[in-house]
């Protein structure tokens, strides 16, 4: 099967801001630079940023100082830009300091009127050669936001490796899943694989915004992508900082699900049988001559 190429009159215009977070740039300067980038994409309906772009994902030593409340400076800036541009703005994610004082990796979607219409705290915090698991408290819930272009949800980076989470997104009706990330170049093949397979499994659009450049000695992969429900890559960025633009037809999700209703065939649980014991079973394997001696 192939993905239709024509877009409807209600096509959703997406701008993915594949931002770099160089160590020598201050958070204030980065916010100002990102503000200019958002304004430059004001003709888009949906603007998406990467994971922890303000502090830089790999800047673990800066997390505590850079942490913000849910309506801190980064979110306030982007709420104002959403009102200014008239676009939905996905903030990527930021280090949130919760009322209890714990830190979380939190993503938000802001509507054109400046309201926060969706929030998600990263459930699967990363532990492999990363301090995220030590520093951040995982989130615990999933939801969707009903927007003019469909039911929108989000996951973050490492969550791509966990199909059970994505199964739940399909079950609750997500049609577009936004994935801010800081995925290293060393595992770029996995990034392309997972963004594609999750779109196919759940018959959703995956809008994946990765970081670019080098952070604390780690090279990020770039390659931000938009994948349709058939698994077709509609757009992919290069390795460096850039703005990736793409138009999608949000109605494609429902037509794909109607044509190929695989989600309705999914079974929620499976009976597991005990393995058959093989102790005492004789096998007619010929041993080599040396083993007989």
pLDDT tens per residue across all 293 residues of the chain: 333 333 344 799 999 999 999 999 999 999 999 999 999 999 999 999 999 999 999 999 999 999 999 999 999 999 999 999 999 999 999 999 999 999 999 999 999 999 999 999 999 999 888 999 999 999 999 999 999 999 999 999 999 999 999 999 999 999 999 999 999 999 999 999 999 999 999 999 999 999 999 999 999 999 999 999 999 999 999 999 999 999 999 999 999 999 999 999 999 889 999 887 665 555 554 544 544 43
Question: What was the pLDDT predicted at 281?
Answer: 55
Question: What was the pLDDT predicted at 129?
Answer: 82
In this structure, is residue 33 part of a structural domain?
yes
In this structure, is residue 4 part of a structural domain?
no
Q: Could you give the residue numbers annotated as active site?
A: 51, 122, 157
- At 107, which CATH number? 3.60.110.10
Does the global pTM surpass 0.85? yes
In this structure, is residue 168 part of a structural domain?
yes
In this structure, is residue 53 part of a structural domain?
yes
Per the structure, how many domains does the chain have?
1
Question: What was the pLDDT predicted at 282?
Answer: 56
In this structure, is residue 86 part of a structural domain?
yes
In this structure, is residue 5 part of a structural domain?
no
In this structure, is residue 2 part of a structural domain?
no
Query: Tokens 């460096």 belong to which residue?
Result: 240
Question: What was the pLDDT predicted at 6?
Answer: 37
In this structure, is residue 50 part of a structural domain?
yes
Question: What was the pLDDT predicted at 97?
Answer: 98
Q: Which domain, by its residues, includes 174?
A: 12-292
Question: What was the pLDDT predicted at 122?
Answer: 98
Question: What was the pLDDT predicted at 280?
Answer: 58
Nearest to 15 by CA among 71, 73, 114, 82: 82
Question: What was the pLDDT predicted at 13?
Answer: 98
Question: What was the pLDDT predicted at 7?
Answer: 37
């Amino acid at each position: 099967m192939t993905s239709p190429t024509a877009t409807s009159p209600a096509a959703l215009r997406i701008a993915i801001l594949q931002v770099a977070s160089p160590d020598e740039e201050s958070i204030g300067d980065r916010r100002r630079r990102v503000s200019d980038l958002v304004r430059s994409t004001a003709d888009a309906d949906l603007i998406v940023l990467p994971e922890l772009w303000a502090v830089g994902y790999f800047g673990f030593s800066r997390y505590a100082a850079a942490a913000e409340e849910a309506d801190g400076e980064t979110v306030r800036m982007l709420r104002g830009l959403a009102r200014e541009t008239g676009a939905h703005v996905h903030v990527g994610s930021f280090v949130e300091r919760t009322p209890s004082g714990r830190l979380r990796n939190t993503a938000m979607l802001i509507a054109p009127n400046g309201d926060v219409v969706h929030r998600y705290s990263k459930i699967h915090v990363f532990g492999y050669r990363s301090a995220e698991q030590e520093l951040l408290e995982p989130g615990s819930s999933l939801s969707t936001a009903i927007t003019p272009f469909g039911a929108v949800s989000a996951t973050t980076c490492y969550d791509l490796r966990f199909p059970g989470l994505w199964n739940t997104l399909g079950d609750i009706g997500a049609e577009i899943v936004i994935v801010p990330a800081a995925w290293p170049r060393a595992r770029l093949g996995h990034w392309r694989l997972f963004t594609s397979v999750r779109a196919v499994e759940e018959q959703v659009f995956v809008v994946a915004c990765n970081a670019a450049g080098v952070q604390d000695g780690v090279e990020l992969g770039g390659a931000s992508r938009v994948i349709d429900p058939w698994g077709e890559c509609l757009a992919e960025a290069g390795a460096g900082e850039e703005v990736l633009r793409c138009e999608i037809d949000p109605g494609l999700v429902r037509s794909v699900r109607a044509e190929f209703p695989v989600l309705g065939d999914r079974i929620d649980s499976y009976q597991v049988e005990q393995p058959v014991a093989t102790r005492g079973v004789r096998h007619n394997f010929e041993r080599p001559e040396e083993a007989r001696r």
